[in-house]
Amino acid sequence: MKRYLLITLCMLLSAFQFLQAQEAEPEDSIIVSYETPALRPENAFLRDLMEFQGIQCIDVTVKSTKPITYTLYQVNNIQGKETRKSIEFPFAQNQENEITFRFMSQAMSPDTARIVLCRPMHCSFQVPLSTTGCILMETISDKPYSLTGRIPLIAYTPGHKEEVELNGIKGTFVDYCGVRDAHKHPTEWHRLFNIGDYIYFELEIQPGTTPQFNFQQMDSPSESSQKEEKEN
C-alpha cells in the first residue's frame, strides 16, 4: 500500500508539472500524459488485487496535432550501456491523433521482470534485471515534444539510492520522484543518478507514412486451392 501511496503522490506532482510544461503548444506538437487506472475510486478491489500480486499498471496517452504512425522501441540500459530493439506490431497501424499504451509490470523473481504491453496490442517481455525496488515510472520532459526525434514513454527502474543516517541509524533511501522530476532523458539516468540497470520504452514518430503490415497475410485453404487450380 505504501508503494501505491508513493506512486499516487508522484502522479499528482507530475500532472501539475505537465500542465505547466504544456501551456504553450507548438503547431506540430506531441503531448504525453499518464494515468494509473488502479487509482480510480471505482477500482478499489482491482487496486488491492494488483498490490497483492505485485502488479503495476500505467496508461500512457500520446496526442498529436497530426495523424501519425510510429515505431516503439525497448531500450535496456545496463550500467550505462544501451541496447535498443524495435517492437514488431503483428497488424497494420491506423494513422491516429491519439494513442494509448497500457504498460504493466511484475517481478517474476529477484532477477527477472515481466513487462506487458496490453494496448494498443498485446505483447510480453521477460527482462533479465534486478527487480528489487523497481517500479513503472513516467519519463517527464519540461520541453514540448515534436514530430521529430524519439519520445521516452515509460521506464522500469529501481530509482536513485542514497545512504542516509537518521538518529544514528543508517539506511538506504530510494528516490523515484527526484529522478523523474529532474526532467532528464532516461539515457542519462545512469550518469546522473548512478542507477545501475533499468529499461525504458520510447516512441519514434513517423508522420505522413503509410501503415504497413509486419507479416505476410496467409491465404485461407480455399483461396490457396483456387490459386493452384488457376495456375495449373
Q: Give the Å distances, CA to CA, from 90 to 35, 214, 227.
A: 26, 6, 25
Indicate whether 37 belongs to any domain.
yes
pLDDT of 22 > 90? The answer is no
**Higher-pLDDT residue of 60, 27:** 60
Number of domains comprising the chain: 1
Nearest-10 Cα torsion for 92, 95, 97, 98: -10
pLDDT for the residue numbered 9: 46
Q: What is the CA radius of gyration of the chain?
A: 21
pLDDT of residue 93: 67
pTM of the model: 0.76
H helices present in 54-182, as ranges: 177-181
In this predicted structure, the answer to whether residue 102 has a pLDDT above a threshold of 70 is: yes
User: What percentage of the chain reaches a pLDDT higher than 90?
Assistant: 52
Q: How many helices (H) and strands (E) does the chain have?
A: 5, 12
Question: Which pLDDT value is given to residue 216?
Answer: 33
In percent, how much of the chain has pLDDT > 70? 75
Residue pointed to by grid coordinates 503547431: 27
180 residue type, one letter: R
Q: What is the dihedral of CA 62, 104, 20, 5, to 10 degrees?
A: 160
Does the residue 203 lie in any domain? yes
Cα separations (Å) of 135 from 98, 176, 181, 205? 25, 9, 15, 26
pLDDT band at 92 (very low <50, low <70, confident <90, very high): low
Query: Residue 203: CA atoms inside 13 Å, Cβ hemisphere, count?
Result: 24
pLDDT, position 88: 80
Cell of 19: 500542465
User: Residue 172 domain-assigned?
Assistant: yes
Quote the CA–CA distance of 61 and 34 in Å, as a whole number: 6
Q: Which domain holds residue 29?
A: 2-208
Q: What was the pLDDT predicted at 90? A: 63
The mean predicted confidence, pLDDT, of the chain is: 80
Question: Rounded to whole angstroms, how far apart are CA atoms 232 and 227?
Answer: 9
Nearest to 203 by CA among 113, 131, 134, 141: 141
Of the listed ranges 95-99, 121-125, 216-220, the one predicted with least confidence = 216-220
pLDDT of residue 230: 44
149-189, pLDDT tens digit by residue? 889 999 999 999 888 878 888 888 899 999 999 999 999 99
Cell of 180: 523523474
Structural domain contains residue 218:
no
Determine the pLDDT at residue 10: 54
How much is the average pLDDT of 102-129?
Answer: 93
- The Cα–Cα gap between 211 and 133 comes to 39
Lowest mean pLDDT among 13-22, 62-71, 164-173, 204-213: 13-22
- Mean per-residue pLDDT, 6-25: 46
Distances (CA, A) of 85 to 12, 54, 61, 71, 80: 32, 27, 22, 10, 16
pLDDT computed for residue 19 by the predictor: 39
Q: Is 83 domain-assigned?
A: yes
- Kindly state the helix (H) or strand (E) to which residue 44 belongs, with its residue range: helix 44-53
Selection from 22-31, 87-96, 165-174 with the highest mean pLDDT: 165-174
> Domain for residue 226, yes or no?
no
SS3 content of the chain, % helix, strand, coil (to 5): 25, 45, 30
pLDDT of residue 3: 53
CA atoms within 13 A on the CB side of 163: 2
Question: Cis before residue 207, ω within 30 degrees of 0?
Answer: no
- What is the model's pLDDT at position 65? 86
Is position 96 within any domain? yes
Q: Give pLDDT, residue 73.
A: 95
